[in-house]
Amino acid sequence: MILGIGIDLVDLNRMEKLATKRFIDRILSDEEKEVYSKITAENVKLSYLGGRFAAKEAIFKAISKGTGFTNYTDFSILNQENGRPYVKTDYFKDQEIIHISITHTDQQAIAYVMIEKL
């Protein structure tokens, strides 16, 4: 059963202006910050941050109302060895699966999320 669907689009030019240490600490989990710190190319760092922000906004839209308060850092958007993103979280109590897709252009990052209950 599908519990929720969310999508978010981020303007990377706007994200570049927001990308302060405080913002990064508020958005990225410790695991994500570790990956972020190893990225050397500034445009790739910006795409990474924008993609993670879009993904978490899409997750929040998918869980919508009635699920309680949560923070951006409650969700880690990580990648499998093949590059496919997945969500690591302790937020859900039951058998929920979060399907996620993230894509980028030079100017935008988009994330789509579908939450399914088994």
Instruction: Please list the pLDDT of the chain residue by residue as tens digits (118 residues).
Output: 999 999 999 999 999 999 999 999 999 999 999 999 999 999 999 999 999 999 999 999 998 854 556 789 999 999 999 999 999 998 877 788 999 999 999 999 999 999 998 8
Indicate if 45 belongs to the active site. Answer: no
User: What is the structure's pLDDT at 110?
Assistant: 98
- List domains and CATH numbers for the chain: 2-117 (3.90.470.20)
How far apart are alpha carbons 4 and 27 in whole angstroms? Answer: 22
The closest alpha carbon to 29, from 70, 82, 81, belongs to 70
CA atoms within 13 A on the CB side of 16: 10
How far apart are alpha carbons 57 and 88 in whole angstroms? Answer: 15
Which residue is catalytic, options 21, 45, 56, 61? 61
pTM of the prediction? 0.92
Indicate if 61 belongs to the active site. Answer: yes
